[in-house]
Amino acid sequence: MAQRAVAIAPRWPGAAAAALVLVLTIGTLAAVGWRAEWQRGLSPADWAAIRFTVTQALVSAGLSVLLAIPVARALARRRFRGRSLLITLMGAPFLLPVVVAVIGLLAVFGRAGVVNSALAWLGLPAISIFGFHGVVLAHVFFNLPLAIRLILQGWLAIPAEKFRLAASLNAPVGRLLEWPMLRRVVPGVFLVIFLICLTSFAVALTLGGGPRATTVELAIYQALRFDFDLGRAALLACVQFGLCVVAAAIVWRLSLVDTMGTGLDRVVQRWDLRWPVLDYLMIGLVALFLFTPLCMVVWRGLPGLALLPADIWAAAGRSVIVAACSALLCLCMALALALRGGRVMEVVGVLPLAASGLVVGTGAFLLVYPFINPARLALPITVLVNATLALPFALRAIGQAVDEVARDYSRLGASLGLSRWGWVRIVVLPRIRRPLGFGAGLAAALSMGDLGVITLFAGEAQQTLPLAMYRLMGAYRMEAAAGAALLLLALSFVAFWICDRGGRGNADL
């Protein structure tokens, strides 16, 4: 967010939004640090959880990046019908609720899944999806599309003139152009995915567990929900926050400067297009890996819809309300911070990236527990935490649009004597409808599928759809869980579509 030439927008909403973000991040962290039993130290089980957390994040990030490089290279080199649609659909796992993806992966790699059925037909031993390799498999499923798209952007950023020059000199494109780009892009992509995998709670909850497959966040959940050991939960939350801060600092430290330069925006022509079969094979295998679980969710979910218990529909209603409230609050905070502008607001807006949902939830639990039954505040706290965690993504979409409006129209607005609220209502809002709709859709979809902080607070009467679905899986009612997964999938994508479509409608008027 750039500094504004004319301060024409109201300022107190930005201050209020920043205060709320600071309370939910720094405030909850302070509560965790105050309650942690530092003199107690970490037990062998805690150290095992730390080792498992770091190891699975390293392996998940490494595999995601290694698999993404050849696929991104193939997509950068080839042009075929449906390429744009394929790249767009690769964004679907980002919106996909984790528990839904787990149902799809179980349908493919589970005990009665497609892969094990094929192995049994061939007379080979079955594989298990639970434990370390299951957690890594799920993380690769979620993060491989992100890695592909980020690395593909690096490939597409190489100016066409450099490829033309390399071809005229018969120079090796890989050594002169592609390798320097990968050295610049890949470390950042690896560390971003590593950071995501560090804070992945729902995957470890559903596919991990047990002494040998417990992450730090899962240990926090077990300490709160099963042992009710607040001191240990707070200590582990501090450890989790420390891991995230170290990873974020390394990401910032290793960010390299773009040395590719700029071009004339010509369409890239490649003269090194050998081995087309290998490129199309890589694209086909990745598409098969990513979209087969989604198809299995639909295939197995349709019969399961008839088996849904009555309380699932109430849980779905709560999820819709939580998602709507989270999206509205997230939009208000993002818009207020974007209108306020400045470096401080920018830092506040990205602060939730360093805060794990479980750490924030643990701090909130410690703050409210002495005064009220936490279950009574399950839904309001879930709304607050979900809105805060989605804020960096919404702010990134809205902030740039607000800056462009301020740059182009702020002096005109000041010369017309528009009031601060009139400026926002007449000038800003009509021109940022598209990013507003996209940000709202993103926040609603992420909140709809959240299975994080709600697990710390909710009882039977407060459960949302993801939590109800997880409990069905825990009761081995997999047919009903598949139906709930299909319902959750539909609600998430419909919520995103309604908001995104609403932002696009008449946006050019």
Q: How many domains in the chain?
A: 2
Domain shared by 404 and 311, yes or no: yes
Q: What is the pLDDT of residue 10?
A: 64
Q: What is the pLDDT of residue 318?
A: 94
Cβ distance 193 to 65 under 8 Å?
yes
In a domain, 3, yes or no: no
The Cα–Cα gap between 115 and 283 comes to: 20
Instruction: Return the SS3 of 244.
Output: helix
Domain shared by 67 and 147, yes or no: yes
**Amino acid identity at 117:** S
Q: Which among 109, 247, 141, 238 has a CA at the least distance from the CA of 187?
A: 247
The Cα–Cα gap between 500 and 505 comes to: 9
The Cα–Cα gap between 205 and 207 comes to: 6
55's CB contacts (< 8 A; 6+ apart) are 132
Domain shared by 130 and 198, yes or no: yes
The Cα–Cα gap between 107 and 89 comes to: 20
Domain shared by 23 and 106, yes or no: no
What are the residue ranges in the chain where pLDDT is below 50? 2-3, 5, 257, 264, 507-509
Domain shared by 254 and 328, yes or no: no
**pLDDT tens readout for residues 285-334:** 989 998 899 898 899 889 888 888 888 999 999 999 999 999 999 999 99
Q: What is the pLDDT of residue 261?
A: 53
Domain shared by 175 and 243, yes or no: yes
Q: What is the pLDDT of residue 269?
A: 63
Domain shared by 482 and 354, yes or no: yes
The Cα–Cα gap between 481 and 469 comes to: 5
Q: What is the pLDDT of residue 205?
A: 85
Cβ distance 132 to 63 under 8 Å?
no
Which of 243, 273, 301 delimits the end of a domain?
A: 301
In a domain, 137, yes or no: yes
Which of 301, 317, 332 delimits the end of a domain?
A: 301
The Cα–Cα gap between 345 and 209 comes to: 39
**Amino acid identity at 177:** L
Cβ distance 160 to 266 under 8 Å?
yes
Q: 382 lies in which domain range?
A: 8-39+306-508
In a domain, 441, yes or no: yes
Q: What is the pLDDT of residue 509?
A: 41
Q: What is the pLDDT of residue 508?
A: 47
Domain shared by 495 and 349, yes or no: yes
Domain shared by 153 and 32, yes or no: no
DSSP one-letter string for 355-403: S-HHHHHHHHHHHHTTTS-GGGGHHHHHHHHHHHHHHHHHHHHHHHHHH
In a domain, 485, yes or no: yes
The Cα–Cα gap between 396 and 94 comes to: 16
Cβ distance 472 to 488 under 8 Å?
no
In a domain, 2, yes or no: no
Q: Which among 276, 282, 80, 264 has a CA at the least distance from the CA of 158?
A: 264
Q: What is the pLDDT of residue 2?
A: 47
In a domain, 196, yes or no: yes
Distances (CA, A) of 183 to 69, 173, 175, 255: 12, 14, 11, 11
134 alpha-carbon distance from chain centroid: 19
In a domain, 384, yes or no: yes
Domain shared by 183 and 146, yes or no: yes
C-alpha dihedral (296, 299, 302, 304), degrees to nearest 10: -60
> How many Cα atoms sit within 13 Å of 134 on the Cβ side?
27
Distances (CA, A) of 382 to 38, 257, 283, 462, 467: 28, 38, 38, 11, 12
Domain shared by 244 and 311, yes or no: no
Q: Which among 381, 364, 399 has a CA at the least distance from the CA of 329?
A: 381
Cβ distance 75 to 152 under 8 Å?
yes
Which of 301, 332, 355 delimits the end of a domain?
A: 301
Domain shared by 223 and 316, yes or no: no
**Amino acid identity at 91:** G
Cβ distance 64 to 143 under 8 Å?
yes
Element (H, E) at 89: helix 83-89
In a domain, 1, yes or no: no
And the tokens for 92?
Answer: 């679907």
CATH number at residue 273: 1.10.3720.10
132's CB contacts (< 8 A; 6+ apart) are 52, 55, 56, 208, 212, 213
And the tokens for 286?
Answer: 């990745």
